[in-house]
Amino acid sequence: RADSLRTWLQFLQDTNRLARIDKSVSPKFELVAVAKHLDGKKAALFTNVAGHQVSVVSGIASTRTMFAEACETTDQELIERFTRAVAHPEPCTLVSNDNAPVKENIIEQDDVDLTTILPIPTHHAEDSGPYITAGMFIVRDPQTRKQNVSIHRLQVSGKNKLGVLLLPRHTYHLFKQAEARQEPLECAIVIGTDPLTLLASQASTPFGVDELEIASALRGSPLPLVRCETVDIDIPANAEIVLEGRILPDVREPEGPFGEFPKYYGPKSDKEVVVIQAVTHRDNPIFHTIIPAGCEHQLLGGIPREASLYQTIRQTVPTVRGVHMTPGGTCRYHAVISIRKQQEGQAKNAILAAFANSFDIKHVVVVDEEVNIFDAEEVEWAIATRFQADRDLVVIHGAQGSKLDPSTADGFGSKMGLDCTVPLNSDPFRYLRIQIPGYQDVNLSDYGL
Ligand code: FMN
């Protein structure tokens, strides 16, 4: 089902969740506007992008259920499944070019012109131009030979030149090491893979873990890889499109502005530059674009964060029942946590653990286990009826948060936790939920409705 983008799209089509748009659309705004209307419902496959031969797909997994289906599990088991894969990566397998569809077409050197080869969309009104938003960025650590995989926004800065945002994590670290040696860092940018491989790329791992091995563990079989043509990097053999290139040392050029996950623009500034020397692609390739701040983007970040958050809280509060990075909080800033409280004070410990887990987390709500943390109305009801600000509020002043949150001073801001659990010593009747006997058994057609 999730062997490749194509098998996945076939699965979506078979289950009536693939919208095919044959009408001509402009890659500038129009394509994204249509896809945005389908966001959270159906994937959108555009077969007729004005000025291009290549099709574009967006929203390949825009619900939690779609990711669970790709992992062949349930919504409830998804976090557990992902956590297991992160803890136990499995090796990939290397195949020859003959067995790698991504090698069906090879374009090199002067023939590389990203602006004509690929239908790269422009997403939001103030974006600096077209951006590749679903490129899995693969680099190799020359010392350990382990690869690192992540997604980075890529501005089209010229026919073979991309501007890249490298926040200070693993890829950035490897680039800085190469730059200190006055060397470029080789990279491969993979566009058009199955949702499991994309999800694996977002795992929070210690430095040195290859996310493609997490993808193998998630699939339950070795992910087939093939060696690139011009760089020492292995890429998924079933990918649609791969760009081979290098990040240049000592070069920074303007990148941005760009509409980002908090639904505001990241500003223009000088960033690292990638030069592309080769493109390989399948016959009739499909270009994947992720709508920034859309459901797909939010869930790709949210699900791995939930897995990591759950582990951290479990160390402090073993009776944690569930965690949810909510879409309204961009799946990064707001965490709702449910616990089975056994000792007074545990909810506050859960709040502190959540802040320790990720600097992005800004507001935390802790509820009792019978509150459905995936139902925003239930969570608000718990805040409304179980929370007292003088007793249950935790505020931490002057901490580091997300730099993309415009209400902070370059990330410097406050954190807030709300303990919405029922006090252990309270009269049980006081917090007994009202209930209509027989409600679940009513079949309205029995009443002529
Ligand atoms: N991280 C960045 O540093 N820069 C980006 O432009 C960027 N864009 C992203 C776009 C999407 C659609 C998604 C899902 C994530 C993006 N991320 C970006 C987050 C990283 O890919 C993610 O944190 C990854 O786990 C980092 O991996 P690493 O620690 O192995 O380098």
Position 268 confidence tier, pLDDT thresholds 50, 70, 90: very high
Q: Which residue owns the Cα nearest ligand 1 atom 19?
A: 151
> Ligand 1 centroid to 437 CA: how many Å?
49
User: Mean pLDDT over residues 259-270, rounded?
Assistant: 97
Q: How far is CA 241 from CA 19, 138, 235, 365, 401, in A?
A: 22, 13, 10, 42, 35
Position 19 confidence tier, pLDDT thresholds 50, 70, 90: very high
Is the pLDDT at 134 greater than 90? The verdict is yes
- What is d(CA 35, CA 45) in angstroms, rounded to the nearest whole number? 9
Atom of ligand 1 nearest to the CA of 134: 12
Mapped onto helix, strand or coil, the DSSP state of residue 232 is coil
- What is d(CA 314, CA 333) in angstroms, rounded to the nearest whole number? 20
User: Mean pLDDT over residues 231-241, rounded?
Assistant: 98
- Top-level CATH class of 76-284? mainly beta
Q: How far is CA 219 from CA 17, 20, 70, 128, 375, in A?
A: 22, 27, 9, 37, 29
Residue 59: both structure tokens together? 């929203």
Q: What is the pLDDT of residue 95?
A: 98
Radius of gyration (C-alpha) of the chain in whole angstroms = 23
Is the pLDDT at 393 greater than 90? The verdict is yes
Q: What is the pLDDT of residue 444?
A: 98
Q: Which residue owns the Cα nearest ligand 1 atom 15?
A: 151
Q: Helix 346-357 vs helix 295-316: angle between axes, to the nearest 10 degrees?
A: 130
> Ligand 1 centroid to 302 CA: how many Å?
12
User: Mean pLDDT over residues 151-180, rounded?
Assistant: 97
Interface ipTM: 0.99
- What is d(CA 337, CA 369) in angstroms, rounded to the nearest whole number? 9
Is the pLDDT at 74 greater than 90? The verdict is yes
Sorted by where each begins, the domain ranges of the chain are 76-284, 296-428
Q: What is the pLDDT of residue 2?
A: 83
- Chain centroid offset of residue 338 CA: 23
> Ligand 1 centroid to 233 CA: how many Å?
19
Interior/surface letters 123-145, b for 16+ CB within 10 angstroms, e for the rest: bbeebbebbbbbbbbbbbbeeee
| Percentage with pLDDT > 70 across the chain | 100
Mapped onto helix, strand or coil, the DSSP state of residue 46 is strand
Q: What's the burial of 359, exposed, middle or buried (CB within 10 Å: 0-12/13-18/19+)? A: middle
CATH number listed for the domain at residues 296-428: 3.40.1670.10
Q: What is the pLDDT of residue 1?
A: 82
| Maximum Cα interatomic distance, the chain, rounded to a whole number of Å | 78
| Helix residue spans in 161-253 (DSSP H) | 170-180, 195-200, 211-219
Q: How far is CA 216 from CA 39, 60, 389, 409, in A?
A: 28, 19, 47, 41
Is the pLDDT at 87 greater than 90? The verdict is yes
User: Mean pLDDT over residues 343-360, rounded?
Assistant: 98
Q: What's 92's DSSP letter?
A: -
How many Cβ atoms are within 10 Å of 181's Cβ, its own excluded? Answer: 10
Atom of ligand 1 nearest to the CA of 300: 14
Is the pLDDT at 190 greater than 90? The verdict is yes
Average pLDDT over all residues of the chain: 97
> Ligand 1 centroid to 149 CA: how many Å?
9
- H/E stretch holding 338: strand 334-339
Give 277-336 pLDDT, tens digit per residue. Answer: 999 999 999 999 999 999 999 999 999 999 999 999 999 999 999 999 999 999 999 999
User: Mean pLDDT over residues 415-429, rounded?
Assistant: 97
- What is d(CA 252, CA 146) in angstroms, rounded to the nearest whole number? 26
58 lines ligand 1 (CB under 6 A): no
Is the pLDDT at 128 greater than 90? The verdict is yes
